[in-house]
Amino acid sequence: MFARSIAATALLILGAGAASAAPSVHYPVEGALAPGAVAPGAGPAFSGAVQTGNTIYVAGMTDSDPATNAISPDPKVAARIVLTKIQNQLQKTGLTMDDLVWVQIFAVDLKEYAAFNEVYRTFFKGPLPARAFLGTNALLGGAHFEIMGIAVKP
């Protein structure tokens, strides 16, 4: 009974603090419309990156070539394309790949894990972000990889 009272009091205190906190404001990063993010006749479908406070959320990007929309059959080329897209989104906010704290990678073929990692490591100077490497059946446009991430401004 006593433990339940303490828990209830703690919830009331935490709840009151959360209710009085200023609302979090988020906005698309200027110029961060993701390549291919325009739905025909409908305008932009999503932002390439959104900032709230000091946190930048980078939308999922695939390895389609931004100039041609083609997908390379080479997983190393594909990895370089998608990682460069993420890097470009971060640069629009004044950040680098080393500011990423979380990365989620989707791959249609888990056998491409080693090839992806070989390229991935070249994009970082400091400690690598936490990450997940997940297999999936298919990605938009026949892509090999899709990556999304979270970065924090120092």
Q: Is the pLDDT of residue 148 over 60?
A: yes
Of residues 36 and 95, more confidently modeled = 95
Cα 41 from Cα 78, distance rounded (Å)? 29
Mean pLDDT along residues 145-151: 96
pLDDT digits (tens, 9 = 90+) for 57-83: 998 999 999 888 899 999 999 999 999
* CATH superfamily, with its number, for domain 25-152: RutC-like (3.30.1330.40)
The model carries a pTM of 0.75
Cα 59 from Cα 95, distance rounded (Å)? 15
Burial of 59 from C-beta contacts in 10 A (0-12 / 13-18 / 19+): buried
Q: In the chain, where does DSSP find H-type helix?
A: 2-20, 75-91, 113-120
Burial of 96 from C-beta contacts in 10 A (0-12 / 13-18 / 19+): middle
C-alpha distances (whole Å) from 143 to each of 66, 84, 104 are 12, 15, 15
Domain ranges within the chain, ordered by starting residue: 25-152
pLDDT score, position 154: 87
Share of the chain above pLDDT 90, in %: 56
Cα 130 from Cα 127, distance rounded (Å)? 9
pLDDT digits (tens, 9 = 90+) for 6-32: 344 333 333 444 444 444 555 555 544
Rounded to a whole number of angstroms, the CA Rg of the chain reads 19
